[in-house]
Amino acid sequence: MPSSYSTPTRTRRQKITSSRQSHSFVKRRKEKSIIVIGCLIVIVISGMYCLDKILSFDMFTIDSVKVYGADPDVAPLIQARAQKQLEGNYLGFVPRASYLFYPRSAVAVDIHNVSPRIDKVEVGREGHSLAITVTDKIAASIVCDDLPDFSSGDSAINDDGSCWYADSSGFIFQDVLASSTNTYNRYYIPSLSDDATSTHSLEGLFATSTTEFPLWQSLYSDLKSHGIAVEAMLVKDAGEYELYVKNPHIQASALGNVATSSPDSDTAVIYFNEQRPLLEQAQNLIDFWAHKVSEAQSKKEQVRFEYVDVRYGSNVFYR
């Protein structure tokens, strides 16, 4: 009977050969990958080197800083901050002074922190110069950290370094001179002296919350629009306020031949607080004021108040 016989040796040789081929293929592939990666690294480094050299050319470099709109005492600080931001390189090779990659946002943020007076900062290029345009905050009021001084017969501010300009949100940004204070709403807030810095400055602080301050401004505006000459407001503790206003001055033509002294420089004190809405108390004062002035005119008399208290709703007390 015929028999069959298979030899396993050939199969083993095939497996061994295949294994050797696979190992050799993997080795060649790794070597090729290493070469490719090496070439890429060389290309990247060469490209970075060439880019560094190109960006270092004068034609691509910011060589000066120009400042517009800043006060003379602030401009040098702005220029120095900007030049500092342009020093050095990104990742060790891209110049920060390149006008293609200069740190525009970082410059704007840094310049904004130079002075509390600065409201807006615009950064751009002007030829080979970095152009920085600064817009200062607009003063909406004056804030003082002491008490009003009536020694001269009114609430004039003395030039003693205790008053500052504040913007519409109550942010205090610059000290003020007495010679230019008559056109702004004035607030005396003695408690702010506790927050003053070692140099006795309130710059960079808020007079009060950003919601409360506009309410004070509205109260000022409402009273002035109804002919009540507000001089200043004192902010006391526990939500109490004193408002200093000029007594009403009735024109001589409405008084006939009655001889009167002019009380228009006299100051009356208005008491109000936060127990009732401020604008409601302001309206009660406006109504009371208009009634008393009309009554005085009909009687051909001047009217003069020592104080008016509007803290109790429609019941207004006065002397």
CATH code for the domain in which residue 285 is found: 3.40.50.11690
Contacts of 278-284 with CB under 8 Å at 24 or more apart are 278/215, 278/216, 278/219, 279/215, 279/218, 279/219, 279/222, 281/310, 281/311, 282/219, 282/222, 282/223, 282/310, 283/222, 284/310, 284/313, 284/314, 284/316
The first and second tokens of residue 42, run together, are 């060389």
Same domain (yes/no): 162, 234 = yes
Q: What is the DSSP string of 160-183?
A: SS-EEEE-TT-BEEEE--GGG-TT
The answer to whether residue 193 sits within a structural domain is yes
Same domain (yes/no): 213, 267 = yes
Same domain (yes/no): 240, 165 = yes
CATH code for the domain in which residue 69 is found: 3.10.20
CA distance linking residue 233 with residue 189, whole number of Å: 9
What's the pLDDT score for residue 57?
55
Each residue's pLDDT tens digit, 52-70: 555 555 567 898 999 999 9
What's the pLDDT score for residue 59?
64
The answer to whether residue 29 sits within a structural domain is no
Is the pLDDT confidence value at 314 over 60?
A: yes
The answer to whether residue 155 sits within a structural domain is yes
What's the pLDDT score for residue 188?
94
What range defines the domain where residue 112 resides? 58-136
CA distance linking residue 31 with residue 26, whole number of Å: 9
pTM, rounded to two decimals: 0.73
Last residue of a domain, one of 86, 108, 136: 136
What's the pLDDT score for residue 55?
52
Same domain (yes/no): 241, 106 = no
Same domain (yes/no): 304, 243 = yes
Triad 234, 306, 286: Cα angle to 5°: 70
Same domain (yes/no): 187, 310 = yes
Same domain (yes/no): 163, 76 = no
CA distance linking residue 157 with residue 183, whole number of Å: 12
Each residue of 208-219: b (16+ CB within 10 Å) or e?
beeeebeebbeb
pLDDT band, residue 291 (cuts 50/70/90): very high
The answer to whether residue 6 sits within a structural domain is no
Is the pLDDT confidence value at 110 over 50?
A: yes
Domain count, the chain: 2
**Tokens 């003082």 sit at which residue?**
144
CB 132 within 8 A of CB 123: yes
CA distance linking residue 251 with residue 137, whole number of Å: 39
Last residue of a domain, one of 79, 105, 136: 136
CB 296 within 8 A of CB 276: no
Question: Among 30-34, 101-105, 138-142, 268-272, which is the least confidently predicted range?
Answer: 30-34
Q: What is the DSSP string of 88-153?
A: SEETTTEETTBTTT--HHHHHHHHHTT-TTEEEEEEEEETTEEEEEEEEPPP-EEEESS----TTS
The answer to whether residue 301 sits within a structural domain is yes
CA distance linking residue 164 with residue 184, whole number of Å: 11
Mean per-residue pLDDT, 66-75: 94
Each residue's pLDDT tens digit, 195-253: 766 567 889 999 999 899 999 999 999 999 999 999 999 999 999 999 999 998 775 45
Same domain (yes/no): 158, 77 = no
Same domain (yes/no): 179, 195 = yes
Q: What percent of the chain has pLDDT over 90?
A: 52
Last residue of a domain, one of 72, 103, 136: 136
CB 248 within 8 A of CB 289: yes
The answer to whether residue 238 sits within a structural domain is yes
Each residue's pLDDT tens digit, 176-203: 876 555 689 999 999 998 876 656 788 9
What's the pLDDT score for residue 252?
47
Same domain (yes/no): 156, 272 = yes
The one-letter amino acid code at 285 reads L
The first and second tokens of residue 285, run together, are 């004062």
Phi, psi dihedrals of residue 276, rounded to the nearest 5°: -125, 160
The answer to whether residue 42 sits within a structural domain is no
Same domain (yes/no): 188, 254 = yes
Same domain (yes/no): 158, 303 = yes
CB 69 within 8 A of CB 137: no
The answer to whether residue 37 sits within a structural domain is no
Neighbours of 179 (CB within 10 A): 8
